[in-house]
Each structure stands twice: as C-alpha cells, then as structure tokens.
Copies of this chain bind each other. A is one copy, B any other.
Amino acid sequence: MRLGIAGLGTVGAGLVRLLEKHRERLQTATGKTLNVTAVSARDRNKDRGIDISAAKWFDDPVALASSDDIDVFVELVGGEDGPAHDAVAAALAAGKHVVTANKALLAKHGVELASIAEDKGVSLAYEAAVAGGIPVIKTLREALAGNEVSRVYGILNGTCNYILTKMQEEGLPFEDVLEEAQDLGYAEADPTFDIGGHDAAHKLSLLTSIAFDTQVAFDQIHLEGIESISPADIEAADELGYRIKLLGVAVRTETGIDQRVHPAMVAKHSAIAEVSGVTNCVAIDGDFVGNLLLVGPGAGAEATASAVMSDIRDVACYGLTGAPFVTPAWSLAPYQRATLGQHTGAYYIRLSVYDRPGAMAAIATRMAEQEVSLESIVQRRPKHQLPGTGVRPELGSPTSVVLITHETTEAAIRAALEAIEKDGKIAHPPQMIRIEQLR
C-alpha cells in the first residue's frame, strides 16, 4: 500500500519514523507492505532526521493528493481551509482513502468531505484529530456500536489542563502559570486558541457528531475559557471536594444537544480528577456499556503518529471503514441546539460580598426567589486576616462567600446572580462554575 504524506512537521516525521521502526510488525498486522511513496512539505531541504529519499517529492500537496503514485493520502498540513482542504477534497475526489489529524478542517468541512468520501466509496479517517493518542473515535464508532450515547465529555486541551494542574499544585495565579507554560513550550505565544477553549471545541464538535448522529456544529458550542479561574476558586474547590478542569461536554437533552466547553468542577476522588498535566481524557456514557473513561496523551508527535497509524492500519486491513461519522453524511440530523438556560446541574458560586448586616440575607433571598437551594455555604475571613495575624477584618470590606447549589437550572442561577449584582451587595461580578456530575 502506497502512502502519500503531506506535511512533514513533527507528526509527519514521527509517522515516517514509526513506519520505519515497525515495518515488520505492521506487515504482520495488515498483510501489506506500507511504503511512503510520495511526500510534500514546505521546505524540501530541511533536515528532519528521517530518510524520505525513496519518496517522490511534491511541492504542491494538492498535486500529491490526486497523484497516481499513492493509494492513501495522509494529510498533516493543518489549517481549516487552504491547501489542507483542497488536498483532502482532491484526494477523495480521486478515489483515494484519506487519513487526517486535522480537527479544524473537519470541524468546518467534515460533513461536506464525508459526503465526497461516501460518494467515492473511500475512507476518511481522523483518529488523530481528537485527543491525540487516545483511541476515542475508534471506540465511539466501533466498540460502542451497540450503544446509544447520552453524554460524551472530557479534558480535550493539554495546555489548559497543565495550567489548571499547576495552579492547583502550587497555588499560583493563572497569569504566572501561563507564562511558565509558554516558557516550557506547553502554551503558544498567543495562547487564546487553547485557553479560550477553541481547540477543545474543535475536538468536541467531532465527538458530538459521531456520538449523536448529527451534523458537525462547531459554531454552536457554548464557550468559556479558563482565564477567569483564580487560586481562590481552586482552593475552595479543593476544600469542598472538587477539582477544576476545562471540560468539553456534549449531552443529549430533551430539547436538543447541549454542547459546551467551560471550566467545570469534578469530584476530587475520581479518575478524571487525577488526569493531570498535559494528559487528556474522554468519558462516554452509553446505555449498555455504562461509563467508559479513556486517558492518554492528547498531543505530541509520537502519540499523534500512533493514532494516524491506527487509521492507516484499518484502511490497509479493510479498505473502506464505513461512513466517516457512522451515519451517512446525507442522513446526519441537522444539529439541534438545546434550549438556552435548560442545563441542569449543581453550581459553584463565589461572591465577593460587602461584609455588612443583611448582605447574606439578601443573597439567600435572591437564591430562594429562583428556587435555588444550597448544599454548602462557606464564608470565612481571608487568610491574611485569620486569628493570630493581628489583622482585624473591617466591617464593610469585601469577604469571600462560596456557595454550592443543589441541582437547578442555568436560567435560575443566572437570574439569581443578576438580581444579586443589582442589589449592590457584592464588590465584583460573581464567579460561577458548573459542577459536572460523573456517573
């Protein structure tokens, strides 16, 4: 089987190394010899530490994609449009199987490209596009074929998880840890794409489509980043038995799919709470399997190459591996977004309350008006004012109040917080973090 690889960055070079190192193993597993017969990249002369002298060089990935020299086109160029899109579309149109690691491309053009693949009777495989080395696409498509999925969620961005883990372990503020992460290369110079949740949302949109048989709807995802998380939140969470993680969550509800990326609290004594650093995970709730959790590297040249190889293996063994989103593209349901405010769950609220008589009563009343009942209330002097420090709290200065609600709706919480803000009893806008119930 002849492979054409477009894009020889770290993942592309990793894949070439993998194919070389495991040539024999792969031949046993697939019954085929896998040869890289054509490659394309920006710079022909760059030293990548790999031997690609036997492969035909293409300056243009689109030309490579439809070339007669290859059977399978491996797209590792990246980017939601431009050459990646054109090359994948060209390869499919030319009847080549396509393997890609490009989440942005599929989040934007997945259904359109799936249609072409189905028309041409070829595979469009993208295990590496979601959660790196974790075999979540294979698990959803194949292992859970006999399940209706009710929820899929996970830690889908290693940069955010690294930052939150460090904040928790070292008690440092977001900005300091971000800077450290940038120095270490775990965060980009412009980190917005990661910390704002966009990267996680790309991946979530693909999981949603495959889990719920709907069209990919990246632009319908409720998005909150981790910028607002403070050491005070992390400390309060810890005390109340939680960890804060940036989760991507997709849930089937009565009114549609609730798709969201935001910081969330998970029970401290759970496997997902211990997924730390740059590690990713995906959890799936299915009606027969119950709850599965897959934990592993969400990025990295070698782990991603491993996932790309998984797809190449399937194409080598089976040729056509089925419709890219299981359900044929033409019959994927239009995405129906769950009604706003319908999300139900428990909430963490942190308020900076002016320490005056009646402040707590006013807050409690606003919660009661929305029928929000409270599981825990923690009001405590700030550390620098604790007995023994010699500092006496001043009446009227802001003090931190943390509330954990019982299950309620997002609409109720938002209405209560709006009313509390209007009352003028709090010094800063409220912090609100959803608690994600594990099963």
CA–CA, A359 to B14, complex, Å? 56
Q: Check if A382 is an interface residue, CB within 8 A of chain B.
A: no
The answer to whether B142 and A314 touch across the interface, beta carbons within 8 angstroms, is yes
CB distance from A322 to the nearest CB of B (A): 6
CB distance from A25 to the nearest CB of B (A): 7
Q: Check if A416 is an interface residue, CB within 8 A of chain B.
A: no
Q: Check if A18 is an interface residue, CB within 8 A of chain B.
A: yes
Q: Check if A181 is an interface residue, CB within 8 A of chain B.
A: no
Q: Check if A192 is an interface residue, CB within 8 A of chain B.
A: no
Please, what's the 1-or-0 string for A278-291, where 1 marks a CB less than 8 Å from any CB in chain B? 00010000111111
CA–CA, A19 to B29, complex, Å? 30
The answer to whether B147 and A143 touch across the interface, beta carbons within 8 angstroms, is no
Q: Which residues of B are found within 8 Å of A29, using beta-carbon distances?
A: 141, 145, 322, 326
Q: Which residues of B are found within 8 Å of A312, using beta-carbon distances?
A: 146
The answer to whether A146 and B306 touch across the interface, beta carbons within 8 angstroms, is yes
The answer to whether B293 and A289 touch across the interface, beta carbons within 8 angstroms, is no
The answer to whether B135 and A309 touch across the interface, beta carbons within 8 angstroms, is no
Q: Which residues of B are found within 8 Å of A314, using beta-carbon distances?
A: 142
CA–CA, A356 to B138, complex, Å? 61
- A274 touches which of B14, B141, B269, B292 (Cβ 8 Å): B269
CB distance from A118 to the nearest CB of B (A): 12
Q: Check if A338 is an interface residue, CB within 8 A of chain B.
A: no
The answer to whether B139 and A313 touch across the interface, beta carbons within 8 angstroms, is no
The answer to whether B289 and A302 touch across the interface, beta carbons within 8 angstroms, is yes
Q: Which residues of B are found within 8 Å of A290, using beta-carbon distances?
A: 133, 296-297, 300, 302-303
The answer to whether B296 and A291 touch across the interface, beta carbons within 8 angstroms, is yes
Please, what's the 1-or-0 string for A33-44, where 1 marks a CB less than 8 Å from any CB in chain B? 000000000000
With A138-B143, A317-B322, A326-B28 as contacts: A288 and B309 at CB distance below 8 Å: yes
Q: Check if A327 is an interface residue, CB within 8 A of chain B.
A: yes
Please, what's the 1-or-0 string for A236-277, where 1 marks a CB less than 8 Å from any CB in chain B? 000000000000000000000000000000000111111110
Residues 139 to 174 of chain A near chain B (Cβ within 8 Å): 139, 141-148
CB distance from A286 to the nearest CB of B (A): 7
With both beta carbons as reference points, the residue of chain B lying nearest to A272 in the complex is identified as: B271
Q: Check if A305 is an interface residue, CB within 8 A of chain B.
A: yes
CA–CA, A277 to B171, complex, Å? 32
Please, what's the 1-or-0 string for A4-19, where 1 marks a CB less than 8 Å from any CB in chain B? 0000000000100011
With A270-B274, A295-B271, A317-B318 as contacts: A288 and B18 at CB distance below 8 Å: yes
Q: Check if A26 is an interface residue, CB within 8 A of chain B.
A: yes
CB distance from A18 to the nearest CB of B (A): 5
The answer to whether B309 and A146 touch across the interface, beta carbons within 8 angstroms, is yes
CA–CA, A135 to B145, complex, Å? 12
- A22 touches which of B28, B148, B270 (Cβ 8 Å): B148
The answer to whether B22 and A292 touch across the interface, beta carbons within 8 angstroms, is no
With A296-B292, A302-B290 as contacts: A142 and B313 at CB distance below 8 Å: yes
Q: Check if A127 is an interface residue, CB within 8 A of chain B.
A: yes
Q: Check if A310 is an interface residue, CB within 8 A of chain B.
A: yes
The answer to whether A286 and B306 touch across the interface, beta carbons within 8 angstroms, is yes
- A305 touches which of B135, B146, B271, B326 (Cβ 8 Å): B146
With A29-B322, A30-B145, A135-B142 already in contact, 16 other A-B pairs whose C-beta atoms are closer than 8 Å: A21-B287, A22-B147, A25-B145, A28-B327, A28-B328, A135-B139, A142-B314, A144-B306, A146-B305, A269-B274, A271-B274, A288-B306, A289-B307, A290-B302, A294-B295, A295-B295
Q: List 21 A-B contacts (CB under 8 A).
A: A22-B146, A25-B145, A28-B326, A133-B289, A135-B144, A138-B138, A142-B313, A145-B310, A145-B313, A146-B306, A146-B313, A269-B276, A271-B274, A288-B302, A290-B297, A291-B297, A292-B295, A293-B294, A317-B321, A317-B322, A318-B318
